């Protein structure tokens, strides 16, 4: 006798549930998606004990009549697709016809529904696949589904549920995704009778984000930059967190495709690339990205919970997103606001986003000002831009700090401190500039531009400089011949294991060719050679900019400083060095006045 059996329907449903129903939050997700597909404008989610005891979801959607209510809980029943052709271009969130059957196979479910044009409501109960009769009852238009004691007949799965708090965290996350995807939806979330969220439909996106994610401390300042583009059938809207609100994980990267929350490695990569050089290593930007494109241009039928999709033209999606985000980020002033220790408090109260080093600089600056304040004139110091209106307030003896040769009252005044930092006056305060970091970022932008237009200009060396190479380095040079050419580096074989630099980029006139080649060899040899040629070029440019830039500890003349400041103002993204560290920290007069208790 054969050993192979056909499984009964309930077993089939339970197995399907294993894929889509992992925990209470999965139930919340599936039921909310059904409500949205039913055209709901309001969804109320009420749970008890982290969803382990009860998950209740009510909507004001189109509802179901008696016949549909009975059928909805059978497996592979759906109103959203009919033929295989419908699979290409799915515009609803659901289509697999499995969620309700799966949920009803692992819990006690009661559903009440009233179709929009119907005078009466109907009700059905299913206990772990054991289906009751549809009976009439009274209820408002729409649908309410209650799911009790999830997995109660499956102790092994129930055991895997975490504490109510943890499960609630997952449920809140699902609610947040829906809330961001559907701005016009009224949403409430209640846990054990306590309201956790009440979001009014039509609220602006920024407000919703601030309300959903208080831990990002957004809302008070404009920490999110809006980018948008509409090209090649792809509509992109993004709210981009400034580098100051970056995180240690990519948890706050929300990507929505036609109102569906998705995860996609191409898109994550595009986001990462867009922020290249703007964040320190190990930091992840906060990004809310909304993509609209024709449903025919991707396939959602590739993952049981539909969290992944397959783009037919992933390269286009990648490049459009990268371009829109990068352009916006580079065109925005991302300068880091400096934080002075708050008046009257010990400096241990570290600010949220400023790094430890910027805090140190802020402390040092506060100290610097304290020490350099001429004691007898203390009360006369005015940190005001010298405008004609303010002129009468400015004491005739200017503070030492601003006695720079160029301090004519109109141009920014500056001073170099510790041969490493430049303090410069601005209209509304002053900035501290890391001379190496700023110069590096200027050079990097410059190099990028030049290389985009072709190759770097180079110069033949009078005497070629030779160096030894290992076979793997020779190979790396061969593999990257194009890159070397674009950099304006010409190498010639000089002996069995020796090569010589024959031409070198003009821009690197103050860099030792051999020193540069050493670092370049390290980089090329250890680069994971792959399709990411752009990434490698970028690393080479980073390194080049770093080597060619003014060093910390280098004394600069006033005209050199003036040039640096002028170039910095011209550069697109001079607020961060290519490694993502800030180049400039801003302080406002208001902060200073507070610090010195003048206000």
Closer of 144 and 404 to Mg ion (Cβ): 144
Among candidate residues 31, 83, 94, the one with its CA nearest the CA of residue 58? 31
Q: How many residues bind ligand ADP, per CB under 6 A? A: 24
User: What are the angstrom distances between the C-alpha of 182 and each of 32, 43, 294?
Assistant: 11, 11, 18
Binding mask 408-447 for Mg ion (x = CB under 5 A): ----------------------------------------
Q: How far apart are CA 421 and CA 579, in angstroms?
A: 18
Q: Between vectors from CA 88 to CA 266 and to CA 321, what angle results, nearest 5°?
A: 25
* 99 binds ligand ADP per the rule CB under 6 A: yes
Shortest distance, CB of residue 245 to ligand ADP, whole angstroms? Answer: 36
Shortest distance, CB of residue 116 to ligand ADP, whole angstroms? Answer: 10
Q: Which one-letter DSSP state was computed for residue 419?
A: T
Closer of 34 and 143 to Mg ion (Cβ): 34
Which region, judged by CB under 5 A, interacts with Mg ion, from 32-40, 111-119, 391-399, 487-495? 32-40
Which region, judged by CB under 6 A, interacts with ligand ADP, from 20-28, 88-96, 301-309, 444-452? 88-96
Shortest distance, CB of residue 76 to ligand ADP, whole angstroms? Answer: 9
Q: How many CA atoms lie within 13 A of 91 on its CB side?
A: 6
* 27 binds ligand ADP per the rule CB under 6 A: no
Q: What is the widest separation between alpha-carbon atoms in the chain?
A: 108
> Interface residues for ligand ADP in 55-74 (CB under 6 A)?
59, 61-64, 72
Interface with ligand ADP (CB under 6 A), residue from 96, 114, 326, 439: 96
What kind and span of H or E run contains 463? strand 458-468
- Work out what residue 26 binds among Mg ion, ligand ADP, none; the CB cut-off runs from 5 to 8 Å by kind: none
Shortest distance, CB of residue 242 to ligand ADP, whole angstroms? Answer: 39
Q: Cβ–Cβ contacts within 10 Å for residue 346, how many?
A: 7
> Interface residues for Mg ion in 325-384 (CB under 5 A)?
none
Q: Is 193 left (phi over 0), alpha (psi -120 to 50) or beta?
A: left
Q: How far apart are CA 115 and CA 119, in angstroms?
A: 8
CA 271 to mean position of chain CA atoms: 7
Contacts of the segment 310-318: beta carbons below 8 A, 24+ positions apart: 311/264, 311/266, 314/266, 316/232, 316/234, 317/234, 317/266, 317/267, 317/270, 317/291, 317/293, 318/266, 318/267, 318/269, 318/270
Interface with ligand ADP (CB under 6 A), residue from 12, 21, 66, 100: 100
Closer of 17 and 447 to Mg ion (Cβ): 17
* 34 binds Mg ion per the rule CB under 5 A: yes
Binding mask 70-109 for Mg ion (x = CB under 5 A): ------------------------x----x----------
* 97 binds ligand ADP per the rule CB under 6 A: yes
Strands ordered across the beta sheet of 224-231: 224-231, 234-241, 287-292, 253-257, 260-262
* 42 binds ligand ADP per the rule CB under 6 A: no
* 95 binds ligand ADP per the rule CB under 6 A: yes
Contacts of 484 (CB under 8 A, 6+ apart): 477, 490, 491
* 80 binds ligand ADP per the rule CB under 6 A: yes
Shortest distance, CB of residue 62 to ligand ADP, whole angstroms? Answer: 5
Closer of 95 and 516 to ligand ADP (Cβ): 95
What kind and span of H or E run contains 405? none
> Interface residues for Mg ion in 518-537 (CB under 5 A)?
none
Write the DSSP assignment of 127-143 as a string of letters. Answer: ETTEE---EEE---SEE
Residues contributing to the site for ligand ADP (CB under 6 A)? 30, 34-35, 37-38, 59, 61-64, 72, 77-80, 94-101, 143
Q: In the complex, which residues of this chain contact Mg ion (CB under 5 A)?
A: 34, 94, 99
């Amino acid at each position: 006798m054969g050993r192979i059996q056909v499984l009964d329907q309930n077993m089939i449903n339970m197995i399907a549930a294993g894929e889509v129903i992992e925990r209470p939050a999965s139930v919340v997700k599936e039921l909310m998606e059904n409500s949205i597909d039913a055209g709901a404008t309001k969804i109320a989610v009420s749970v008890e004990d982290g969803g382990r005891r009860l998950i209740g979801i009510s909507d004001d959607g189109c509802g179901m009549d008696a016949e549909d209510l009975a059928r909805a809980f059978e497996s592979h029943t759906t109103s959203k697709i009919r033929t295989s052709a419908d699979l290409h271009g799915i515009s609803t969130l659901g289509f697999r016809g499995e969620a309700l059957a799966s949920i009803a196979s692992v819990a006690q479910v009661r559903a009440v529904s009233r179709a929009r044009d119907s005078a009466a409501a109907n009700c059905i109960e299913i206990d772990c696949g054991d289906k009751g009769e549809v009976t009439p009852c009274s209820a408002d238009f729409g649908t309410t589904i209650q799911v009790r004691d999830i997995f109660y007949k499956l102790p092994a799965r129930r055991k895997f549920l975490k504490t109510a708090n943890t499960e609630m965290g997952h449920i809140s996350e699902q609610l947040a995704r829906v809330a961001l995807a559907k701005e016009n939806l009224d949403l409430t979330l209640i846990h054990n009778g306590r309201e956790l969220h009440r979001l009014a439909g039509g609220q602006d996106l920024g407000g919703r984000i601030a309300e959903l994610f208080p831990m990002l401390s957004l809302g008070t300042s404009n920490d999110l930059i809006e980018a948008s583009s509409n090209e090649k059938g792809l509509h992109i809207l993004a709210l981009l967190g400034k580098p100051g609100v970056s995180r240690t994980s990519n948890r706050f990267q929300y990507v929505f495709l036609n109102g569906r929350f998705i995860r996609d490695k191409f898109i994550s990569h595009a986001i990462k690339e867009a922020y290249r050089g703007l964040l320190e290593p190990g930091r992840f930007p906060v990004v809310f990205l909304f993509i609209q494109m024709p449903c025919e241009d991707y396939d959602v039928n590739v993952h049981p919970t539909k969290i992944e999709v397959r783009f037919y033209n992933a390269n286009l999606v990648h490049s459009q997103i990268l371009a829109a985000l990068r352009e916006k980020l580079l065109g925005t002033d991302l300068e880091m606001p400096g934080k002075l220790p708050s008046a009257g408090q010990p400096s241990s109260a570290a600010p949220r986003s400023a790094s430890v080093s910027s805090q140190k600089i802020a402390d040092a600056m506060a100290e610097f000002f304290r020490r350099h304040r001429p004691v007898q004139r203390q009360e006369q110091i005015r940190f005001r831009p010298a405008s004609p209106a303010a002129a009468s307030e400015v004491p005739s003896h200017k503070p030492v700090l601003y006695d720079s040769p160029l301090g004519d009252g109109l141009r920014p005044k500056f001073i170099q401190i510790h041969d490493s930092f430049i303090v410069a006056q601005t209209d509304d305060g002053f900035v501290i500039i890391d001379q190496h970091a700023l110069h590096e970022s200027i050079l990097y932008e410059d190099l990028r531009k030049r290389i985009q237009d072709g190759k770097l200009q180079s110069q033949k060396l009078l005497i070629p400089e030779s160096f030894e190479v290992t076979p793997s380095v020779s190979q790396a040079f061969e593999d990257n011949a194009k890159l070397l050419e674009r950099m304006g580096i010409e190498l010639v074989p000089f002996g069995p294991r020796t090569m010589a630099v024959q031409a070198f980029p003009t821009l690197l006139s103050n860099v030792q060719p051999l020193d540069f080649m050493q670092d370049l060899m390290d980089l090329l040899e250890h680069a994971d050679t792959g399709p990411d040629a752009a990434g490698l070029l970028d690393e080479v440019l980073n390194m080049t900019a770093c080597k060619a830039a003014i060093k910390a500890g280098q004394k600069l003349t006033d005209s050199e400083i003036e040039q640096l400041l002028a170039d910095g103002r011209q550069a697109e993204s001079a607020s961060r060095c290519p490694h993502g560290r800030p180049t400039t920290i801003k302080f406002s007069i208001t902060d200073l006045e507070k610090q010195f208790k003048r206000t």
